[in-house]
Amino acid sequence: MRVLISHIHSRHTKEKPKAKVSIKPDQHVFREEKVTLRCDIDGEGVTSWQYSWYKDSSNSVFSELQEHTFSPFTESDAGKYFCYGAERGGSRSSQDSDAVTLTVSNRAQAVLSVSPQKWLTEGDPVTLICEVYGSSTGWTFSWYTLTASSDNIYFQLLSDSSRGAGGNYTVSSAALKHTGVYVCRAERGEPAYKTTFSNTQPVWVTGVSPRVSLIISPSRTQHFPSVPLSLSCEDQSNSDRWRVRRYTDSLGLEDCSSLRRASQTGSTCTINSTITSDTGVYWCQSESGENYHPVNITVQADVIMESPVHPVTEGDNLTLRADFYKDGSLIQNPKNTEMIISTVSKSHEGFYYCKHSERGESPKSWISVRVSHSESQISVLHTLSSLSVVCPYLLVTVMLIFKCCRMRGETPD
Based on the domain organization, do 252 and 192 belong to the same domain?
no
The predicted pLDDT at position 99 comes to: 96
Q: What is the pLDDT of residue 327?
A: 60
In a domain, 389, yes or no: no
On whether residue 381 sits in a domain, the answer given is no
Measure CA of the first residue to CA of the last residue in the chain; give whole Å. Answer: 112
Alpha carbons 219 and 77: distance in angstroms, whole number: 61
For residue 209, the model assigns a pLDDT of: 64
Supply the pLDDT for residue 376.
41
Domain region containing 86:
2-105
Q: Apex CA 123: angle with CA 121 and CA 128, to 5°?
A: 80
Do 141 and 184 fall into the same domain?
yes
Catalogue the E-assigned strands of 106-242: 110-115, 119-121, 126-132, 140-148, 153-157, 168-171, 180-188, 193-194, 201-206, 212-217, 222-223, 229-235
Quick one: 226 and 200 in the same domain?
Answer: no
pLDDT confidence of residue 10: 41
Q: Are residues 194 and 253 in the same domain?
A: no
**Whether 195 and 220 share a structural domain:** no
Looking at residue 118, its pLDDT comes to 92
Determine the Cα–Cα distance for residues 356 and 362; give it in Å rounded to an integer.
Answer: 8
Same domain, yes or no, for 236 and 220? yes
To which H or E segment does residue 8 belong?
Answer: helix 2-8
Q: In sequence order, which residues have a C-beta less than 8 Å from that of residue 287 and are 6 or more positions away? A: 241, 243
CA distance 349 to 316: 13
Residues of the chain with pLDDT under 50: 1-13, 374-413
CA-based max dimension of the chain = 113
Question: Could you tell me if 229 and 340 lie in one domain?
Answer: yes
By residue count, the chain amounts to 413
89 in the same domain as 76:
yes
Instruction: Report if residue 413 sits inside a domain.
Output: no
Instruction: Give me the pLDDT at residue 65, please.
Output: 96
| Same-domain status, 295 and 343 | yes
Answer yes or no: do 223 and 361 share one domain. Answer: yes
Q: Tell me if 394 is assigned to some domain.
A: no
| Claim to verify: residue 298 and residue 355 sit in the same structural domain | yes
| Distances, alpha carbon 302 to alpha carbons 154, 230, 280, 326, in Å | 37, 22, 18, 6
217/349 same-domain check: yes
Domain end marker among 181, 205, 229: 205
Helix residue spans in 111-252 (DSSP H): none
| Residues 39-82 pLDDT 10s | 999 988 888 999 999 999 899 999 999 999 999 999 999 999 99
